[in-house]
Amino acid sequence: MTFSTLVVGSLPALRASLEADFLGEVGGADTVIVPTAAAFTGAAQGAIEVAQALEGLSLRMEGLMVTDRQSAREPHFVLRASEADLVILSDGSVLHARTVWRDSPFGDSLRTARRLVAVGSVATVIGEVMIDPRGGAPTTALGWRPGLTMCVEASDEQLERTRSLLREDQLLAVIGPSGVLGHDGEHWKVLAADVTVTRGHEVVDL
């Protein structure tokens, strides 16, 4: 897989991306699922949903129940995320995920993961600027993958507000359910077309 980081709009897009870009390179990959963001459905259910979506693929999967600041300091979880071939961040509450991962040993292990995949709305956390889902305002993200602000689809009014509040030179990628973005360590690229990139209010190519 050329891209060390993938952002996918949904679990079906996750499966398709891994089948296309990853499994041919590493069969039986050691994969950890991180359901921190699944604050509303519960971490166990969040991990199960990801595992079910990937059922039948040549992955050895384990869920890491990192749900709070205390578990984000647990050495076993930190080591597993550091050593895994693939780390998958499940969809859910981006605000909860940011709180748990920020300035924590586990967050550091996610930042330096060999291959990181963010599913759905949680993608907004990994850039430098995060879009608050409660109203679309930009706020501080974790800064793991700079160069692009990301969010999932929202109402036209909310996206208009988001673009108005971002700097004029700031790129915003709105990711649809089948959208996929890749980061090679330096640059972002659209890998599946259900992604709209704008600078200000103008649609641009990434």
Which residue segments constitute the domains of the chain, with CATH numbers given? 5-203 (3.40.50.880)
Rounded to an integer, what is the distance from CA 91 to the centroid of its chain?
8
Q: pTM (2 decimals)?
A: 0.95
**Distance between CA atoms of 198 and 171, rounded to whole angstroms?**
6
In this predicted model, what pLDDT tens digit does every residue of 73-105 receive, in sequence order?
Answer: 999 999 999 999 999 999 999 999 999 999 999
**Distance between CA atoms of 62 and 49, rounded to whole angstroms?**
12
Asked if 149 contacts 172 with a C-beta cutoff of 8 angstroms, the reply is yes
DSSP state of 123: G
Return per-residue pLDDT of the chain as tens, 206 residues: 578 999 999 999 999 999 887 665 556 899 999 999 998 899 999 999 999 999 999 899 999 999 999 999 999 999 999 999 999 999 999 999 999 999 999 999 999 999 999 999 999 999 999 999 999 999 999 999 999 999 999 999 999 999 999 999 999 999 999 999 999 999 999 999 899 999 999 999 99
Asked if 161 contacts 171 with a C-beta cutoff of 8 angstroms, the reply is no
Angle between helices 43-53 and 11-21 (to 10 degrees): 50
CB atoms within 10 A of CB 168: 9
Quote the tokens at residue 46: 């969040």
- Residue 78, pLDDT score: 99
Q: Which amino acid is at 30?
A: D
In this predicted model, what pLDDT tens digit does every residue of 130-140 receive, in sequence order?
Answer: 999 999 999 99
What does residue 99 show for φ and ψ, rounded to 5 degrees?
-60, -45
Question: Please, what is the Cα angle at 133 between 184 and 39, to 5 degrees?
Answer: 85
Asked if 38 contacts 112 with a C-beta cutoff of 8 angstroms, the reply is no
DSSP state of 111: H
